[in-house]
Chain A
Amino acid sequence: MSDQKEFRLSELPALARRHYLTGLFCLVICLFLEIWFLHYPPRGVVGENVIITGSVIGSPLVDFDSLWARVTNDDELMLQIIDRAEICRQKNRVEKLNFLNRTIRQNLKFQPENETLVKISFKRPGYNDIRPFLNCFTDALIDKLTNMGQESFEIRREKALVQYSRAIERLRFIAHFFDMPSIAALLENSPEAPVDTSRMLEKVRSDKVTDGIGRALLGELLPGYSTAQIYYEPYFNDKMKLLELFPRSPVVITARDMPPTPVQPFYELIFVLVPMAVFLIYASLLIILGRKNDAALQ
């Protein structure tokens, strides 16, 4: 039996009245999908935290890759973070570990923007669980970065101090040995009050340093002194403007309440596409049901 019949648009309202349950069902589906996608966008939502890892003028204090691997693979630490964030509804430890493996580790990633700037991202289906976990995780990471960074900073600082002191002592020795009181006076308060190489050179030129060998030796030691001083400065000068860009301690620069964003671009279009899709499906169901009725009548 054929289902062929001349179709008129005016039949649609009559069909819609006859099959009102279908319309109701489609309306419910449409509303459900709209609300569902409002809370759970396609492809999920992602929250990001940007942190500046501690550094000394751009040279990182801690190897972030190693730290990341250490933290994310530490089950106990991660479970503590999950408990603190209260995002896992399971109480059983095994289920929590499953949740950690399947949900957290798969969706937690980091991306270095440059030597000292790292973007940590966490993806979830809905908006609610992202910020609590991300904030707790970042806090734990910052704690580790701070402790390790401080330790690394102290070591490097010590090294810089030793190098600078060695350079100063060499200059002092030459100054005393070849009787250059002006140079010795300049270095009197070092290394606490470092002396620029330019001032040193000015002193060498202006003073009547007659001893050629002494002057020559001074000239040989100045580059080493300059290098040591440049290396020393960032560890002891707390007023450098570069500290704003490259702080010594790690810092989270993303606001703690920054809302997550949907992964899918132009996500808002879905709220237009869903009604269109449901309407087409509704129209097709009406036609099918209408043809079925006609076939039954025949």
Chain B
Amino acid sequence: MTQLCNEKSTDQFSRWWAAYFLLLPFGQPLTRGLVIGDLPAIALMVISFAAVFRGKLPEIGKTEAWFIFLTGCSLLGIELTRAPDFYLKELTSMVFLFVCFKITADFLNSEERLAKAIELTGKAAATLLLINSVVLLSHKTMALEFTSRFFSAGEKLSWPFEFSGQLGISLTVLFPLTLCARRLTGIQRAIIYSMMLLNTGAIASRSVFWLSMFQVIYIEFFVYAENSTKRNIFKLLLLACAAGLLVMFFGESYSFQRSLGQLESSPLIFDEPRVATLREALRTLPTWLQGYGLGCFKAFHELEIHNTPLSLLVETGFAGFLAATAFIASIFIAFWRSRLRHSLLWHGLLLSLIAVMANGMFRNLVSSRVSWFILALCLSHRHFQQQASRAALADTPTIEPQPQQCRQ
């Protein structure tokens, strides 16, 4: 307990933590499924395990218990013994991300730390937006040979990730943190909005683009709400102009058209590969009691289920799905009951959480680092409730022994 107080009172970030928060938005692949942000994460894990061996036990609550429950359900997968390599790979990545999630949530046990972590990550995300914006604007010029490496197949912006979808998830999930870490001026916000829409337009993903549009509108009209009707109308007109400019300059680009939803011959929502995968997933219905096996669906169908809840339901069965739902619900409850509710920071996290849920409808986020990071930030809010309750206990006379107070 004293050690915990000491840690909270210093509020200093070690280099490893700073590196972790800064590198998180950059998913540059290294080797064997690792990305650049995993290096500081591994170092932090080693430090945490060393602390456990020294006697500093981790805090375990309902959230962790539901994850253990989910892991238990995953062991009953029906195809597990037929594709053990796929299962072990998926389980390893899930456990790795959970450990990162846990140590991050435990580390961010003060408002200052939380604010600093969000500020660092937000700045890193803004840097990523800036780099990609420069690349996009210079893509059609003489720098084509240099900028082509920033795009994946089909001219979709993907740097620093392997696939454009991963970049889309990272941007939509971290974008609110960029704007809500601290209050920004109108011009700063306008620049960030422009960069964001430029980036998401180039990713060629409908869900990412429209989600980012929603985020821009929500942040501008609800988070940075103004009392003046004239200013709101002015903002709306500015946004419309920005949209018009975007269409004018990038309307002919395939990626931009696809982001808006215009495919060659198909309507807005129809997407044959996704529908085919959905059909295959529904055919596994008889196995949903036991679960197909974590990570085993793509072993036999060559495609991933692009929907996180459905993927969990198919692969871990009803019990695993309920455990995962309870896991998310416990995080949300801790987040919702935070005393920081309605603050700028809290709003940003809420938007990020909504982005995670929305992206989860169109992609499998079980192995998404940024999604687990946002969940960790949300779970860290349980510390603030606890501090509030301890302070309340300290003030109220009671027969029970008092919790130890931090010495100033």
A residues contacting B by CB (< 8 A) are 1-8, 33, 42-43, 264-267, 269-270, 273-274, 276-281, 283-285, 287-288, 291, 298
Contact = CB atoms under 8 A, between A and B. Distances in A.
Interface of B: 57-69, 71-76, 78-82, 84, 290, 330, 334, 337, 382-383, 385-386, 389
Given A3-B61, A266-B81, A277-B74, 18 more contacts: A2-B61, A3-B330, A4-B382, A5-B60, A6-B57, A264-B81, A265-B82, A266-B84, A269-B81, A273-B75, A276-B72, A276-B75, A277-B72, A280-B69, A280-B72, A287-B60, A287-B62, A288-B66
Nearest to A288: B65
A2 B389 contact: yes
26 contacts: A1-B385, A3-B330, A3-B382, A4-B383, A4-B386, A5-B60, A5-B61, A6-B57, A8-B57, A42-B78, A264-B78, A264-B82, A273-B76, A276-B72, A277-B75, A280-B71, A280-B72, A281-B68, A285-B69, A287-B62, A287-B65, A288-B62, A288-B65, A288-B66, A291-B61, A291-B62
B389 to A, nearest CB: 6
B65 A267 contact: no
Given A42-B78, A280-B71, A5 B59 contact: yes
Contact of A7 (B58, B69, B73, B382): B58
Nearest to B4: A6
A200 to B, nearest CB: 62
Nearest to B78: A42
Contacts of A43: 78
Nearest to B385: A2
A7 B386 contact: no
A4 to B, nearest CB: 5
B76 A287 contact: no
B61 A4 contact: yes
A270 B80 CA distance: 9
B334 A2 contact: yes
B64 A287 contact: yes
A277 B68 CA distance: 9
Given A2-B334, A2-B383, A264-B81, A291 B76 contact: no
Contact of A281 (B61, B63, B73, B81): B73
A269 B75 CA distance: 11
A81 to B, nearest CB: 26
A273 B337 CA distance: 38
Nearest to A33: B76
A281 B69 CA distance: 5
Contacts of B382: 2-4
B379 to A, nearest CB: 10
Contacts of A278: 72
B66 A284 contact: yes
A266 B293 CA distance: 15
Contacts of A264: 78-79, 81-82
A4 B382 CA distance: 7
A266 B80 CA distance: 10
Contacts of A267: 81
Contacts of A3: 61-63, 330, 382
B69 A284 contact: yes
A265 B83 CA distance: 10
A8 B52 CA distance: 11
Contacts of B330: 3
Contacts of B66: 284, 288
